[in-house]
Amino acid sequence: MSGSGLRSGTTDMTDGGVVGHIIRFAIPMLIGNLFQQFYNLVDSVIVGRYVGADALAAVGATGSVTFLFFALCNGIGSGGGIVASQKFGYGNKVAVKRTIANTAYVMTIMSVVVGTIAYMLTEPLLAFLNTPASIMHDSVSYMHMNCMGLLFVALYNYASSMLRALGDSRTPLYFLVFSCLVNVFLDIFFVYYLGTGVFGAALATVIAQFISGAACLGYAIRTNEYFRLSREDMLPDKEITIATIRLGVPLSLQFSLIAISCMALQRVVNGYGPVAVAAFTATSRVEQVIHQPYQTLGAALSTFTGQNYGAGKYKRVVQGLKKGMIMMIVFSVLMLPLMQFCGRQIVSIFVGDPAVIEMGARALQISSYFYFALGTIYVSRGILTGVGDGVFALQNGIVEVIGRLIFPIAFTMIPVLGVWGIWWSTAATWIISGGTALIRYRNYGRRIGLTNNI
């Protein structure tokens, strides 16, 4: 399989150095994820600078709602990716091709249905979140455009999930970089020159996502042998579809529960007015970037684990966890001084309002102390997802919902904390979620014969 893997752009991770495989796979994907986050950053910077703080708040107010509906589709793609990586590790080429085909069917149906429902529920959900009246119209406009583009977002996530399952993290990067440049150009054109406000920012992102997804999938079909499907490969496969849904639905529910918990937090934030909403939006955008190295490491570990678990090489799975934890801790330590001393400069990238900058800078100082807990979630989740533990995804989502429902209300009621309880509650949620993930790894790993020790 290694030989054919080289010809098709895939990577067999069942042999060779553990750290080398993880880093080589993770770096292109990290760059790609950062460029994908750059979509949101560009929207926020251009809207905040050229339209105003209220417009920035309008974009931020939709974040948790958008994440909720995107998560329902993206979880299926992740589930299909795990199935494909395990089949690839086992060496079953036919099953890999059928997984690629059947995941496409499920994701297409999900994105159309979810996008339609999301469009209809946008205004009621934003009203439920106590979105300030001054930004409601722009928030609805931004959200509606994103709903109409959900199929295009799913297209890219599908193509990239399948390629990464085969060990190819470079191809999605190339097209994502190009589409990011397109997004920057369209953002400036729509928002600055045409004056279309937040609607134009959303339209630019949707167009860029379509270009990225279509180009990535088209290139994969032309160059990767696993994407060249025969009629037999494209037939519906009940067993593979069920396996994809069995892994994908818990992941979708996990992401959705996290999104619901973020909506609950957003509701608390909205109650403090536009300045707090704008500061929370700015710090959320920064933390989305901070999430990317952890998320990338987790995704790399997931593919690495899926292939090695499928090949029966359990010792390498355990080595992956240990090495992943070390890399996560190093990154967390490096980020701490940056957030402690450069918070004002970072927040000022998004908005010029002094009150927003001051609040955002202090918020970054609070949360940066707890990045190690955030990283623990992603590393543990990557390993557990790779071995096919669908239950953990749901458990972790429930824990996060509980944390984000209880902590924000409780912490903001403490007089000495007040509005700062918003960011302290996020830190507390990371801690309990990370602890739960480690406990699950210990228990589940022992059950399936991986290890008796963390």
User: Is residue 454 domain-resident?
Assistant: no
User: Is residue 290 domain-resident?
Assistant: yes
Written as tens digits, the pLDDT of the chain (454 aa) is 433 343 455 677 878 788 888 888 788 878 877 776 666 666 677 777 777 777 777 777 777 677 777 777 777 777 888 888 878 877 788 888 998 999 888 888 888 888 898 899 888 888 887 777 888 888 888 888 888 888 888 888 888 888 887 878 788 778 878 877 888 888 888 888 888 888 888 888 888 888 888 888 888 888 888 888 888 888 888 888 888 888 787 777 777 777 777 777 878 888 888 888 888 888 887 888 888 899 889 888 988 888 888 788 888 888 888 899 999 999 999 999 999 999 899 988 877 888 899 999 999 999 999 999 999 999 988 888 888 776 776 777 788 788 888 999 899 999 999 999 999 999 999 999 999 988 888 887 777 766 544 4
Q: Can you give the residue range of the structural domain that contains 382?
A: 2-448
User: Is residue 107 domain-resident?
Assistant: yes
Question: Residue 402: its pLDDT value, please?
Answer: 85
With contact defined as beta carbons under 8 Å apart, do 303 and 386 qualify?
yes
User: Is residue 91 domain-resident?
Assistant: yes
Tokens 């949707």 -> residue:
206
User: Is residue 27 domain-resident?
Assistant: yes
User: Is residue 416 domain-resident?
Assistant: yes
Contacts of 120 (CB under 8 A, 6+ apart): none
- How many domains are there within the chain? 1
User: Is residue 302 domain-resident?
Assistant: yes
- Please state, as a whole number, how many other Cβ atoms lie within 10 Å of the Cβ of residue 32: 25
> φ, ψ for residue 134 (rounded to 5)?
-65, -20
User: Is residue 453 domain-resident?
Assistant: no
pTM (2 decimals)? 0.67
